Amino acid sequence: MDTGLKGKNVLVPGSSSGIGLAIAQALAEEGANVVLAARREDVVQAEAAKLPSAIGIALDLNADGAPAALVEAAEEAFGPIDVLVLNGGGPPPGGAADVTDEQALAAAHQLLLQHIRLTNLVLPGMRGRGWGRIVAVGSSGVQQPLPNLALSNIGRAGLAGYLKTLAAEVAGDGVTVNMVLPGRIDTDRVASLDAAAAKRTGSTPEEARRSSEAGIPAGRYGKPGEFAAVVAFLAGTPAAYVTGEQIRVDGGMVRSY
């Protein structure tokens, strides 16, 4: 399948490792010019150097003014952004009964507000050119809230509502807006959640992982590349009639339709 991504300019925050890096690699393989961004300068630049047409920008997306600085640097390198991937780290685990005002506001800032700001910076250009793709990395918790991940559930649900509303507003301009929901993908983030679960239950991280895998019909964690392949499709030309969707990549973990 020709994704039509050759020569397109793509921005992928949170892309020094895990799902974000896999997405950057997948889009680069399709011929896109990719801007990777993450806090670890040495790592993000080293990963960008491995790709045919990419740059790495060291930046903390949670910092004040970070979205504007990132888009400015990306456009200076390659030109207007055609594909925006909304991705970043998640807040720490914890229960809903313990959420404080400060934690809720921090989660909203990290998972919602900064992504809205990024979108607002690139969306006018996409609409003006009549082509654009916004693909957000969410969580299966958007559809089935995850135990002990209250802050993630709160922030990502807010982002889901924003994106669904936006999709209907910009579909006529050739811009699609979709969300891809990972289940248990084999990344450092999921390993840290397994470690936290092990600490709570008095087990080992290996036992926590096996317990988690037992609840997945596929019987295993997903690979980052498997997730990235879905994002690459949604970012491409063949997916022009897919918008406003939430697509799970979870090995059947969420049992609802």
Given a cut of 90, is residue 144 above it in pLDDT? Answer: yes
Q: For 189-233, write each residue's pLDDT tens digit.
A: 899 989 988 998 999 999 999 999 999 999 999 999 999 999 999
What six digits make up the tokens of 180? Answer: 């891809």
The ranges assigned to domains in the chain are 9-185+227-249, 186-221
- Distance, in Å, from the CA atom of 16 to the CA atom of 135, rounded to the nearest integer, reads 18
Q: For 65-93, write each residue's pLDDT tens digit.
A: 999 999 999 999 999 999 999 999 889 99
Given a cut of 90, is residue 52 above it in pLDDT? Answer: yes
- Distance, in Å, from the CA atom of 195 to the CA atom of 155, rounded to the nearest integer, reads 22
Question: How many CB atoms neighbour CB 189 within 10 A?
Answer: 15
Q: For 164-180, write each residue's pLDDT tens digit.
A: 999 999 999 999 999 99
Q: For 117-136, write each residue's pLDDT tens digit.
A: 999 999 999 999 999 999 99
Instruction: Evaluate whether 155 touches 111 at the Cβ level (below 8 Å).
Output: yes
- Distance, in Å, from the CA atom of 15 to the CA atom of 136, rounded to the nearest integer, reads 13
- Distance, in Å, from the CA atom of 135 to the CA atom of 246, rounded to the nearest integer, reads 10
CATH 3.40.50.720, applies to 9-185+227-249: yes
Average pLDDT, the chain: 96
- Distance, in Å, from the CA atom of 92 to the CA atom of 104, rounded to the nearest integer, reads 11
Alpha-helix residue ranges (DSSP H) falling in the chain: 18-29, 41-49, 66-78, 101-108, 114-129, 150-170, 188-201, 205-214, 224-235
Candidates 67, 73, 69, 106; CA nearest to 86 is 67
**Confidence (pTM):** 0.95
